[in-house]
Amino acid sequence: MTKTEAPYTTQLAAGLGMIPETLQLLRLWEPGMIPARLSEKAIHDGLFSRTTARRARNLTAEMFAPRFLGEQGEVASRLKFLQAHRFSHEGMIQLCFLYTARAQRIFADFVVEVYWSKYIGGAAVVTAKDAEVFVNRALDTGRMATRWSDSTIKKNSAYLLGCCADFGLLSDKGKTGRAIQRFSIRPEVALYLAHDLHFAGISDSSIIQHRDWLLFGFEPGEVLNCLKTLSHDGHFLVQSSGELVQISWKYKTMTDCLNALTQR
């Protein structure tokens, strides 16, 4: 683990993918609302009627906040806008997947190193043993701040499989393991991701190389082809020669991009 990489945590235990809860919290959240206020409002409004107050607070503090409330709630604001303007449900789920992976590095690395490795290799399932091997390897290479117990390893291995199932990468259940399901980035999500990276100040060539695309199984050449295909709709113009990539961006702000995405 490098100095810039956050250690793996057990925060997935708070709720795995938690897609329905995320969409409910997005509707409830307002700009400037801190996690504690959001959880209290969720409890007051009976948003999670079948959960305890403590559980509601954990969902907000350990799941929703790390994924969506960074940078003064910029991500939550974007997703709330898309949600209110008929962005596709499947696209919303994939954006939740993206931000979950960004917030939980253990999940991101598992998707890239285990799911996609198995997928490309033609495997039919991902097993609990596969997940445990991944977690133990991470422990041996210093990815955790402290040594995990055997029970913690087993539980978090199951959480990784469950989170993959929530986002549609794996089946819900299986006798010998969870079946690998086809998972491909939606065009509207690819457009969002490309613009998100662009407005984060990343160069055109570096966008093609960015590790976020690996979450969707894309190597740089596949990213370039994807963006060239998307350019046919007029969102940007892509030119490339060897390793040099230049993109002429149509939108001046991410807000312009979001407006375009909801008008497709």
Beta strands in 49-186 (DSSP E): 125-126, 178-179
Give tens-digit pLDDT for 15-45.
798 899 899 899 999 998 888 898 888 888 8
pLDDT at 4 over 80: no
Backbone angles phi, psi at 19, to 5 degrees: -65, -50
Q: How high is the mean pLDDT of the chain? A: 90
Res. 14 pLDDT band, cuts 50 70 90: confident
Distances (CA, A) of 199 to 43, 152, 154, 192, 252: 36, 38, 39, 11, 9
Average pLDDT over residues 150-175: 92
pLDDT, tens digit (0-9, with 9 covering 90-100), for 86-96: 899 999 999 99
pLDDT at 127 over 80: yes
Q: List, in order, residues 6 or more apart from 261 with CB less than 8 Å away.
A: 82, 87, 188, 191, 192
- Report helix, strand or coil for 5: coil
pLDDT band of residue 150 (cuts 50, 70, 90) is very high
pLDDT score at 199: 96
Give residue 12's pLDDT. Answer: 86
pLDDT at 13 > cutoff 90: no
Q: pLDDT over 70 for what percent of the chain? A: 97
246: left (phi over 0), alpha (psi -120 to 50) or beta: beta
Residue 144 main-chain phi, psi, to 5 deg: -105, 150
- Model pLDDT for residues 165-215, shown as the tens digit of each residue: 999 999 988 777 899 999 999 999 999 999 999 999 999 999 999 999 999
Tokens 């399932």 identify what position?
A: 125
Prediction pTM value? 0.92
